[in-house]
């Protein structure tokens, strides 16, 4: 008979890692994109965690685009929900683009070398599955002295190929050298 | 391959407490993730302070919050801490927790301010639930060595059963 009772002590088990660091890339100051290539297929999902500044002075924050396997065609669809400040006014907005050349999943602060940064968590689900299109989602944001933004994004790459490379690019200029993106693999 | 996502410390309250503190945080990770599951009868949000800094001008955040059919965005320029949970709906249940996941990026670097992203869902037994997303900054370039979690007032308490877990994520 199995008796369930209070556990007075518990052993610590050793588990195989299910969240592995694959690679980390940093901005160079002279390029508007970074690319993770030769991504191994041994995981279930991918996660990218990044902090970023982008060299562009026109506005306060910039969204980051993401593409897969070098595909620059109109094979992406994306949707965002965003809260942000412009001037002294708060905006809550949503938007979608049915046919796009990229997905939108992150955010950067638009002054290279600033102590302020944009931060992003981007997840690419079931990236190695060859029977379905690939979906991506992101949580990102930035806050600085005069404004701020927080964004939830999602999208699809209408392609059933396994994702073997991921390119992240700033829509408004080059990544600063204090920009860092780390790619992780998540096992089921 | 060494684990990249590691639990640093967990605190499960055995009795009510006004604050929960993670101190002597190791500086060997890239990011921190704080998972909170909050029980409180106080009508309150919850938030965090770094390195015992409670100066209001040193923090700021923006929150987009959904409740019922309405969405709002609010920016707080001098809140005295980073809010990480609760906005249009505040805590207020002894049994149904309000939950949050907070990501603190590049917490040990000493060249940039510290930026955090949070998502939360708050439950109040009278007024219902909401969902929120926060982006906030601690305007300080110091490495984060301690985190204090608190409710809106020093007289409010987290109830027994509330859990707080701090994870470290290490990049290659």
Residue numbers of the domain that contains B82: 5-169
- Can you list the domains of chain A with their CATH numbers? 20-186 (2.60.120)
pLDDT band at A104 (very low <50, low <70, confident <90, very high): confident
User: How much is the average pLDDT of A172-178?
Assistant: 87
Return the bridge partners of A92, or none.
Answer: A83
| Percent composition of chain A: helix, strand, coil (DSSP 3-state, to 5) | 0, 55, 45
What residues of B are in the A interface, CB distance below 8 Å? 1-5, 30-31, 60-64, 71-75, 103, 105-106, 111-113, 115-117, 119, 133-137, 139, 141, 169-172
Instruction: From chain B, pick out residues whose CB is under 8 angstroms from the CB of A51.
Output: 105-106, 112, 115
Q: What is the CATH number of the domain that holds B54?
A: 2.60.120
pLDDT band at A3 (very low <50, low <70, confident <90, very high): very low
Q: Is A185 helix (H, G, I), strand (E, B) or coil?
A: strand
Q: Nearest-CA neighbor of B160 among B79, B50, B39, B78?
A: B39
Instruction: From chain A, pick out residues whose CB is under 8 angstroms from the CB of B141.
Output: 115
- Prediction ipTM score: 0.94
At residue A6, does pLDDT exceed 80? no
Q: How many residues does chain B have?
A: 172
Whether residue A143 lies within 8 A of chain B, CB to CB, comes out as yes
Per-residue pLDDT at A118: 93
With pLDDT > 90 as the criterion, what percentage of chain A qualifies? Answer: 65
Q: Is B87 left (phi over 0), alpha (psi -120 to 50) or beta?
A: alpha
Q: CA-to-CA distance for B9 and A99, rounded, in angstroms?
A: 45
Q: Chain B neighbours among A 53-112 (CB < 8 Å)?
A: 81-85, 90-92
User: How many domains does chain B divide into?
Assistant: 1
CA distance B66 to chain A (A): 10
> pLDDT per residue over A56-94, tens digit each?
766 667 889 999 999 999 999 999 999 998 878 888 989
Per-residue pLDDT at B15: 97
Residues of chain B with pLDDT under 70: none
Are B72 and B65 in contact by the 8 Å Cβ rule? The answer is yes
Instruction: From chain A, pick out residues whose CB is under 8 angstroms from the CB of B139.
Output: 115
User: How much is the average pLDDT of A100-121?
Assistant: 86
Q: CA-to-CA distance for B162 and B37, rounded, in angstroms?
A: 6
């Amino acid at each position: 008979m199995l008796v369930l009772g209070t556990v007075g002590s518990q052993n610590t088990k050793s588990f195989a890692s299910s969240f592995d660091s694959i690679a980390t890339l940093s901005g160079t100051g002279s390029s508007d994109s970074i690319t993770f290539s030769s991504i191994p297929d041994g995981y279930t999902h991918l996660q990218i965690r990044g902090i970023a500044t982008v060299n562009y002075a026109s506005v306060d924050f910039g969204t980051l685009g993401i593409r897969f396997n070098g595909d620059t065609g109109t094979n992406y669809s994306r949707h965002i929900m965003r809260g942000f400040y412009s001037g002294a006014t708060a905006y809550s907005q949503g938007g979608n683009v049915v046919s796009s050349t990229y997905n939108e999943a992150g955010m950067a602060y638009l002054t290279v070398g600033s102590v302020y940064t944009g931060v992003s968590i981007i997840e690419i689900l079931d990236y190695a599955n060859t029977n379905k299109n690939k979906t991506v989602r992101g949580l990102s944001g930035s806050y600085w002295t005069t404004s701020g933004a927080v964004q939830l994004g999602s999208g699809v790459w209408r392609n059933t190929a396994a994702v073997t490379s991921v390119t992240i690019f700033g829509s408004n200029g080059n990544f600063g050298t204090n920009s860092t993106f780390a790619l992780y693999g998540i096992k089921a | 391959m060494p684990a990249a996502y590691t639990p640093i410390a967990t605190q499960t309250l055995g009795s009510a407490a006004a604050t929960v503190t993670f101190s002597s945080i190791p500086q060997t990770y890239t990011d921190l993730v704080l998972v909170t599951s909050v029980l409180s009868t106080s009508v309150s949000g919850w938030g965090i302070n770094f390195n015992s800094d409670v100066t209001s001008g040193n923090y700021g955040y923006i929150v987009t919050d959904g409740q019922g059919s309405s969405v709002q965005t609010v920016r707080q320029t001098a809140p005295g801490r980073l809010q990480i949970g609760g906005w249009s709906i505040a805590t207020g249940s002894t049994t149904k927790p309000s939950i949050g996941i907070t990501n603190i990026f590049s917490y040990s670097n000493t060249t940039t301010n510290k930026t955090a992203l949070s998502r939360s869902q708050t439950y109040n037994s009278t007024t219902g639930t909401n969902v929120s997303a926060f982006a906030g900054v601690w305007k300080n370039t110091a490495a984060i060595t301690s985190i204090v979690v608190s409710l809106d007032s020093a007289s409010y308490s987290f109830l027994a059963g509330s859990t707080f877990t701090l994870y470290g994520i290490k990049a290659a």
